[in-house]
Structure 1
């Protein structure tokens, strides 16, 4: 019997999916393939997909644009039969709350039908609250609960805020979000700290869970590699990159805060803050990046 595991990845070309695939392929060598990775992509010829296809043990699988809504077709496109899927990684993109809930639950249901042996869902840190009052967070809790009741062996990862969203190369929408987070979040509690994690480390934790399933099954783990005040974030950023964090005009950010999920998120961070045990995370993955290390890695790759 082969020891190679078949892992299918929903959201493969996004930050988290790509990070997981990068981490999984580190386990593969020129003489041994520990993970066969099936990366679902709507655009297999896009640079993000062709780069994944160049990694050892990775097959980019072309899927329909609505594959998150109809995951059966995605599983079929992988060429894997029922019972042959060892692991699924599921993360949803930026869609409506109703669409995210439907997609998240449907992928779980189809994975159950397909006999998946280990299901990893990437959620969000909920701050140890029973109700965060943040609708986009509570949708993820509903998906978590659906997974827990599905009968599948599972691991749930709950990442804190993404370090990646601070980068000047991130999409404009994140310039708006970081303007809110750095300037207009800690209104009542300016002493609070933002808890942060890099997408690369989310991928490493997911890969670790797939490589050690008996130790990770049934676990729900919140993830953060650093915790810093707003001033500390901006100070580290300037020290490493030599410039200020790129922000946008407050009137635009204020409007977005009012009409988007970023408003409830900001209130959640101000009222409660993250509750990730950062030191425990560092014990589990000693190489987890703090913000300085993350920015130094980014700088080195863009010189």
Structure 2
């Protein structure tokens, strides 16, 4: 089977590449903005064909898709500027799927899409255009494009990535103080459980759908590894690093301001509408997820991050 991995250098895409690169039954190609980046080096080293382009470039997508693929995988980073670039990019991909008769589409979405009522209750005081109020509905809209593509599809819905606390470019957006101060500024109730997962497991899970298309055909699957509070996560970080990681104690004025912060507002909402009861490892797929502590203690994952001693 010929497989095109879009977003091939991200958490999810790289996990899919790693899972299938040595499988003789599948021929991989990748699509990325910068084939010469450090993130793309493992793809090059594996001898995988790389197409250059971004999802806004219809010609680049057509050039890649013209090679002929049985299956594609993609995920799209949200348009944080408040526009619809992410929706337009998804439409470009699905249009290419239709033009080139791709049989199977795998999409990495996010947990809790389709439960907008919960978000409306928790965030009815937020202004229009707030990140939270558009993020999940837009992910749902992309899912709808996938569902109506005419191809067999699998939509995988992961929760919070452990990489958010570790990878430099993720931490810079989510927890900028953490690498230097060892303090996590997080507006989630520290005793509120939430699902966590190794982001690359999402790609490995997608690889199972490619290997077993009948089992995963037209399925929408919420996944997760462990249900952990931030207090429990901090303890895992301490054990993995030997460092005195702490949760930030919010002063009253700063706490009030988190209500409309594009990240902290989301985290406050998690505490209000509760954890996702459908998260976790769906037993019918017999998939082995990476335990969070094991991921944190892996020297390969620590390299180049604040986890290093």
Does TM, normalized by the shorter one, top 0.5? yes
Contact 1:72 1:110 in 2 (8 A): no
Q: Which runs of 5+ in 2 are unaligned?
A: 121-131
Contact 2:66 2:100 in 1 (8 A): no
The answer on 1:123 being equivalent to 2:109 is yes
State the alpha-carbon separation in 1 of the partners of residues 261 and 177 from structure 2: 10
User: Which residue of 2 is the match for residue 137 of structure 1?
Assistant: 136
- TM, length-normalised to structure 1: 0.81
Partner of 2:186: 183
Q: 5 Å matches for 1:124-273?
A: 124-126=110-112, 129-131=115-117, 132-133=119-120, 134=132, 135-167=134-166, 169=168, 170-176=170-176, 183-186=186-189, 191-245=191-245, 257=258, 260-273=261-274
Backbone CA RMSD of aligned residues: 3.1
Sort the Cα spacing of 1:273 and 1:34 in 2 relative to 1 into closer, same or farther, 3 A.
farther
> TM-score, normalization: structure 2?
0.80
Distance 1:136 1:254, change over 3 A: farther
- Segments of structure 1 that go 5 or more residues without pairing to the other structure are none
Secondary structure of 1:292's counterpart equals: helix
* In structure 2, C-alpha distance between the alignment counterparts of 1:76 and 1:108, rounded to whole Å: 15
Partner of 1:90: 74
Q: CA deviation at 1:116?
A: 0.6
Contact 2:183 2:248 in 1 (8 A): no
Q: 1:22 to 1:11 in 2, by over 3 A?
A: same
Structure 2 match to 1:18: 14
Q: 1:160 to 1:300 in 2, by over 3 A?
A: closer
Distance 2:197 2:32 in 1: 25
Q: Are the equivalent residues in 1 in contact too, given 2:154–2:209 (CA < 8 A)? A: yes
- In the alignment, is the contact (CA less than 8 A) between 1:155 and 1:218 conserved in 2? yes
CA contact (8 A) 2:61 2:93 kept: no
The partner residue of 2:88 within 56, 78, 102 is 102
Q: Is the 8 A contact 1:182 1:230 kept in 2?
A: no
Aligned to 2:126: none
Select between 113-122 and 174-183 the one with higher mean Cα deviation: 174-183
